[in-house]
Structure formats: structure tokens, C-alpha cells
Structure 1
Amino acid sequence: MRNKFKVTAVTAALVFVGIAAPAMADINVGISVCATGPGAALGIPEKNTVALLPTTIAGEKVNYIVLDDGTDATMASKNARKLVSENNVDIIIGSSSVPPAMAIVEVANETKTPQISLSPIELAGDKNTWVFRTPQHNSVMAKALAEHMQANKVKTLGFIGYSDGYGESWLKEMTKAAESVGIKVTTVERFNRTDTSVTGQAVKLASAKPDAILVAASGTPSALPQLSILERGYKGQIYQTHGTATKEYIRVGGKAVDGTILPAGPVVVAAQLPDSHPSKKVGMDYSRQYEEKYGPGSLSSFGAHMYDAYLVFAAAVPTAMKKAKPGTPEFRQALRDALETGKEVVGTHGVFNMKASDHFGHDDRARALVRVEQGDWKLLSDK
């Protein structure tokens, strides 16, 4: 059974060395992830997950062409253009972080190539046409946090987030969710992904003494503002976002991040979910495969976003193949259409129901509220 999930040596040689062009009948999947740079904690498990993906779908061979964009938007754009022009890919998956994912959007729309983003990018109007996502929309996760805050009598909330699309989206969605339950966002600070100090922002937040503080960041950089705020003597509850659901964050933060609460995809606590949860089985299966290959405790929710991208894509392929042959513009169009109409596709992070007005496709089944306890995740609620 495990052989089904391994990329063969021949395929790997063709993909990574490029010694031969893929056959026209093959389905070519282009992937650009943040395997290096600030987003590496997200991109490495996503890259690792590719080795677990089946190499045939609906009887057709699948080639995975994996490139590293270094968490750089310019490189992500170059990768996307190379994948389209040189590798004739039928779909692009990536990137791990918002800025490079946004750069791929431009290429996806221009070349009419479906994109499945591994970060929850916000797009307006026609920009959404060719772009789908596997991470949860920030509004789904913000609602879970607001409900927990309300239940624990939080009245004022401080905020510190990335000074980019991810941080701004979270500020927007968290403000809306908080206000809906009578919570006021009182202090707002921002920082850059590559910053090595946030002392000034931490002093302002700790001095304001809000009942709780939300850090809107991702991967290991999430720990920096939290540790800085705690060093200033802050005693309130600290929340993080689903961008922080990686053990690397816990490793960097150490005992200081115990007690942190965040919304995460169900896969993070798959074994703790009730048997009735639709994502429990697929989440546990993925977790087992990943940790058998990369070691106990290596599981990351970000790798699971890649796995979900495969599941959503694989569910759309049979429908698309009824209309056109892989490697053609007609197939890319048919694949886009099939992705948009996929129903009840069960993933590790919830159940996907895409539609023209929603290229995320998640509902409340895509969130689990968790707390960091003794270096691990503890399920608080799957609602």
C-alpha cells in the first residue's frame, strides 16, 4: 500500500533534473513552495508531502515538478512562468506564504492556469477566477477565536501582525468577529516577517494591558512578538492564528508559549477528534504516512495543506478528463471548472465545497480550537 504513495526514482529524476520532457498524456503539476527563507517552516513540510502523493490519477501518470521560491515574490513569479512555459503544467500549487502566492496569482490568471494556493490569500473580483486555496479563510478561524474570547469574558483585545496581506486580512476579520461579540480591538501593532526585534511594539501592547492579545503571523516568526510581550510582564491570554500551527513554533517558543490558544485545522489533533468528524480518518492516515517517513513528531499542518491540494485536484481530474486531454488549454479550463464545482471533498483540514463565490470551500468543520500544553497541541473544541 505504501508504494502507492512514493514518487518513483525515474519520475524524480525527470522532475528534478529535467533530462526528459514529460509525455503529453501525462498530468503535469507545478509546485512552488518556500523551502528556504522566512517561510521555510511552512514550505519544507509541504515539499516533503509531495513524496507521499500518488503518481497516477484516474489511470493517468502524474509528474510533480517542485521548485523553491525562497519565500520571495519575484522568484515565485519566475517559478510560475517557468512551470507554465517550459513544463507545460496543467496546474500550479503554491506558494506557502502570502507574498509569493500572490505573485503566482498574476501568472495563473494571465496564462489561464489553475492555481491552488497553500496560503489563505485575499483576492478581489476576477483575480479569483483561476485561484483556489486549501488553507481556511481567516474569517472561519477568527470566529472561533471570538467565541472563545467571549466565553472567557475578554472585553479588550490587542493585536500585532505581519505588515502584509496576511496580517491585514487577520486584522480585518478579527476586528469584525470581535466587534460582533462586544470585544473592542484597542491597540494595533505591525512587524515585518524578517524583523529580529519587536521591542517597541511589545512595550506598547504590554503597557496598554488589553485582556488578550492576538499575534497574526506564521511559522517560527510567530514566537518573536509573543516572547517579547511576555518579557514585558504581560499576564493576559495570548492567541495565535492557524499560521502558527507548527511544532517549530513550539520548539522556538519553549515553555513560554504553553497556554497559547489558536484555531487549527483538524489534522493537527486528528487522533483527539471524535469518530464522527469527517476529517479524522484522512487526517490520521496522512499523519501516519508523514511520520513514518520523516519521524515521530514531524507532522505539520502546512504539509497537510499540500495533501489537501492533491485531494481537491485529484477529485477534479476525472471530470476534466471527460472534456479534454492533459497538456491542453481545454484541459486547464475543464480542470478549473471542476475545481469550482467540487462537492464534499473530504480533506485533512475539513470538507471542501467550492463554488463561484467561494474558492476556499470550508465551513466550521475546518477548524479546531487548540491550546499548547507541555510542548504539544491539546484539543479544546472542534467547533
Structure 2
Amino acid sequence: MTFTRFFRMSLGAAALLAALPLAVSAQIKVGVTVSATGPAASLGIPERDTINLLPTEIGGQSVQYIVLDDATDTTQAVKNIRKLTAEDQVDVVLGTSVMPGSLAMSDVAAETGTPMISVAAGTKLVQPVDGPRKWVFKTTQNDVLMANVLADAMVKQGVKTLGFIGFSDAYGDGWAQEMKAAADAKGIEFVAEERFARPDTSVTGQILKLLSKQPDGILIAASGTPVALPQRELVERGYKGQIYQTHGAANNDVLRVCGKACDGMILPAGPLLVAAQLPDDNPVKASALKYTKAYEDVHGAGTINTFGGHMWDAGQLIIDAIPRALETGAKPGTPEFRAALRDSLEQVKELPASQGVFNMSETEHAGMDERGRVLVQVVDGKWTYMPGF
């Protein structure tokens, strides 16, 4: 072999090796942080498990999912998104499970120019679409959408006075604000308001204060298994009024922890919770059952979880948006691609998912309408669809 030929081969090998990092960087990276441990674990575990059901190729590009646990801790959620954006250089972030962590993460999303799709509730995450919220989308129904249907139900059930107990954080704050507005519009008087922390093990004092006001109905504004704490206390104290919950209680683990004390409670939820009970012409039924089958094929019959559905829907949003972002010519792993993906998410139209039909725009980053909610009551330990609301 001549020196010239050897030199040319060496150059060719060097060029091939140099190209390898470029090939890797072209891979689409999706960062995920969920609360797989801590008080919101019943939300985060099915969200984490749903990631395994999402495609590893979208728009002809391979997709890598990098999943972290933030332990239901806001500080850790921020650390996670900083790692995902700075070290892993992800193109989009999904998560986290709860509103306080998601709110804190939104600043980092904006700072780094990374689109973020939260799976937490809370209108404040995405409205108004300005400042950091330009980079944030979410797959849960806005509080106001759910509060309005609850107020309608309360009117039909003759509720004139309402008590409230909710988380002492952004989730409780958001629900208190929206429920007060919805109740006021229907002539329902807010007569008492109490709060509790997610890790609390007793709410006896708060419940006694609520009961002293003798409200016709009480709304518990919490999420995951902690919702069972005030629910059980109210039942054990003999409360005879109607107990309502938010869509944060739409979780089979809640029924397991709460037991018979959950019977009779009413809540708004995404259609996924009672998909099989919906009429065939419901626009969400088919897409909700698709996710149900995918999840239960892996985890077993009856394991479907609405919080996992929110992560599935985040996946459906990026499946829809990534091909449009690629059409701009921007390369994954670059600021240009992240910006193009953000813009593409705003172009999602009439996308059926497990919890509703999404329509995004420059001024709407939640995209849910009335098709994303149903009213449900627990009857004999089972979620039961309540038509007509």
C-alpha cells in the first residue's frame, strides 16, 4: 500500500468518525420529568410508564426519551429541566406531574428556548400566552373548564352554599379562584375555605371548621391519593351534603386508598376515565380506547390511569408537531429546531387524544373545549359516567 493511498484512507476514516457525532446530534431528544416518587407518585408513575408506549421514530427521525424523577419536589423539577436542557440538550420537555413544579420549570423553558408540555393542571401555566408561557403548553383541562361544569351540577343538585378545602399551593390557589368565580355566576355562596399540604396526615381541624358552616356542598381541590384524606374525614364525621372533587382525583389509586368513603363523590374528568361508557358518537371515545388498549396490553386490565393519559396526549402533540418542524429545514438539537417545534405546536388542529380534542394557537396553549370533560360519580366503588352535563 502506497503512502498516498494510506493517507487518503486515513482521511476517509477520520471524516467518517467526525460525522458520527453529527448523526447522533440529529436525533430528536425528548426530556421528561415526572413525580414518580413523593406525594404525587400516583400521578407520576403512570406518566412515566406511558413514555414506553410512545414511538421511537417520528417524521423519519429517531427519538430518544430521557426520563427523570423529581420526587414531587419543585427544586428538583427545576434541577431536572436544567440538566435536560443544558447537558442533554433536549428539543422538548414533557412534565412535570404537579403545578408548582411546572410553574417553576416554565422560567427555565423560556430562558433556554425549549418548548415544554406540562401534564399538570392550572390555567396559570398557559394563560395569558405571554412571557415564559409562550414556551409552555399543557395537556390537562384548564380549571375554569372543569369548575364551570361543577357549578352547573351544583345548581341541579340544589347547592346554595359551598365549602372548600384544597392544597396550600398553586393547585389549590387556582381552583379556589376559578370555583369562586363559577359559583358566584350561579348564585352559589362560598362560606368557608381551608387548606392543607400535600404531605399532611391529618385535616381534622380544617374539616371541623368547614362542618361548622354547614355548607350544602364541599369541594376538595387536591390531586392524587392525598384527596382521600379530607374525603374520609368528611364521611367519618357524618357530613350529609354533597362532596365534590376536581379532576385531580380521577385516579384508580384514589379509589383504592379511599375505599367506601369515596362512594357518592362527584367530579369532572377527562373522557378517558369512563371511555367505554361513552356513546359511540363521542369524538374522544375511539382515541381514548386506543390509549387504554396500549396501556393495559402492557400493565393489565383495569390499570388505565387518566394521568398517564395526559402524558400520552403530550406524546400525541409532539407526534403531530415534529414533522412540521422538520419541514422547516431546522435540525434537531439546534435552537432553530426548538423554535420551529414551538411554532408547530401552535398549529395543532382538531387532534383527538385520550382526554379531548386539541386546538392550539398563538393565544391558546391548552387547546381543550367541552369535548375534554365529562361528569363522573363514584357508585359502588366504580367510576360512573353521568350523561347530561
Shorter-chain TM-score above 0.5: yes
1:129 equivalenced with 2:130 (yes/no): no
Counterparts of 1:158-173 in structure 2 under 5 Å? 158-173=163-178
Stretch moving more, 333-342 or 20-29: 20-29
The residue that corresponds to 2:41 in the other structure is 40
Whether contact under 8 Å (2:271, 2:356) holds in the other structure is: yes
- Between the aligned partners of 1:245 and 1:331, the Cα distance in structure 2 is 36
- Between the aligned partners of 1:127 and 1:147, the Cα distance in structure 2 is 33
Stretch moving more, 40-49 or 284-293: 284-293
Letter paired with 1:331: F
Counterparts of 1:251-270 in structure 2 under 5 Å? 251-270=256-275
- Between the aligned partners of 2:361 and 2:158, the Cα distance in structure 1 is 37
- Between the aligned partners of 2:27 and 2:281, the Cα distance in structure 1 is 37
1:288 equivalenced with 2:289 (yes/no): no
Report how many aligned residue pairs link the two structures.
364
The residue that corresponds to 2:355 in the other structure is 349
Cα shift at 1:109? 0.8
What do the CA deviations read for 1:111-153 (whole angstroms, capped 9, x no partner)? 0100000102314531211000000000000011011111111
Whether contact under 8 Å (2:194, 2:206) holds in the other structure is: yes
- 3-state SS, counterpart of residue 120 of structure 1: coil
Stretch moving more, 292-301 or 256-265: 292-301
Cα shift at 1:58? 1.2
1:380 equivalenced with 2:381 (yes/no): no
- Between the aligned partners of 1:291 and 1:209, the Cα distance in structure 2 is 43
Cα shift at 1:252? 0.7
What do the CA deviations read for 1:170-217 (whole angstroms, capped 9, x no partner)? 011111111111111111101111111111101011121100000000
Counterparts of 1:58-73 in structure 2 under 5 Å? 58-73=59-74
Letter paired with 1:43: G
> Paired residue for 2:181, among 176, 180, 183?
176
1:337 equivalenced with 2:353 (yes/no): no
- 3-state SS, counterpart of residue 197 of structure 1: coil
Whether contact under 8 Å (1:365, 1:382) holds in the other structure is: no
Cα shift at 1:24? 1.4
The residue that corresponds to 1:298 in the other structure is 303
Cα shift at 1:164? 0.7
Q: CA RMSD in A?
A: 1.3
- Once the two structures are aligned, what percentage of the paired residues are identical? 53
What do the CA deviations read for 1:156-177 (whole angstroms, capped 9, x no partner)? 0100000111001001111111
The residue that corresponds to 1:307 in the other structure is 312
Q: 1:94 to 1:29 in 2, by over 3 A?
A: same
What do the CA deviations read for 1:188-247 (whole angstroms, capped 9, x no partner)? 101111111111101011121100000000000001011112222211000000001001
Runs of 4+, deviation exceeding 2 Å: none
> Paired residue for 1:322, among 327, 338, 344?
327
Q: 1:362 to 1:278 in 2, by over 3 A?
A: same
Whether contact under 8 Å (2:35, 2:97) holds in the other structure is: yes
Cα shift at 1:382? 6.9
- Between the aligned partners of 2:210 and 2:81, the Cα distance in structure 1 is 40
Structure of higher CA gyration radius? 2
The residue that corresponds to 1:16 in the other structure is none
Counterparts of 1:104-143 in structure 2 under 5 Å? 104-121=105-122, 122-123=124-125, 125-143=130-148
The residue that corresponds to 2:30 in the other structure is 29
- Between the aligned partners of 2:138 and 2:25, the Cα distance in structure 1 is 27
Normalising by structure 1, report the TM-score: 0.93
Letter paired with 2:362: A
- Between the aligned partners of 2:370 and 2:388, the Cα distance in structure 1 is 8
Whether contact under 8 Å (2:109, 2:132) holds in the other structure is: no
Unpaired runs of 5+ residues, structure 1, are: 1-19
Letter paired with 2:320: A
- 3-state SS, counterpart of residue 25 of structure 2: coil
Counterparts of 1:70-219 in structure 2 under 5 Å? 70-121=71-122, 122-123=124-125, 125-219=130-224
Unpaired runs of 5+ residues, structure 2, are: 1-20
Whether contact under 8 Å (1:367, 1:382) holds in the other structure is: no
Whether contact under 8 Å (2:251, 2:307) holds in the other structure is: yes
- 3-state SS, counterpart of residue 218 of structure 1: coil
Letter paired with 1:258: D
What do the CA deviations read for 1:314-350 (whole angstroms, capped 9, x no partner)? 1111111111111110010010011112111111110
The residue that corresponds to 1:361 in the other structure is 367
- Between the aligned partners of 1:81 and 1:52, the Cα distance in structure 2 is 25
The residue that corresponds to 2:3 in the other structure is none
Cα shift at 1:103? 2.1
The residue that corresponds to 1:52 in the other structure is 53
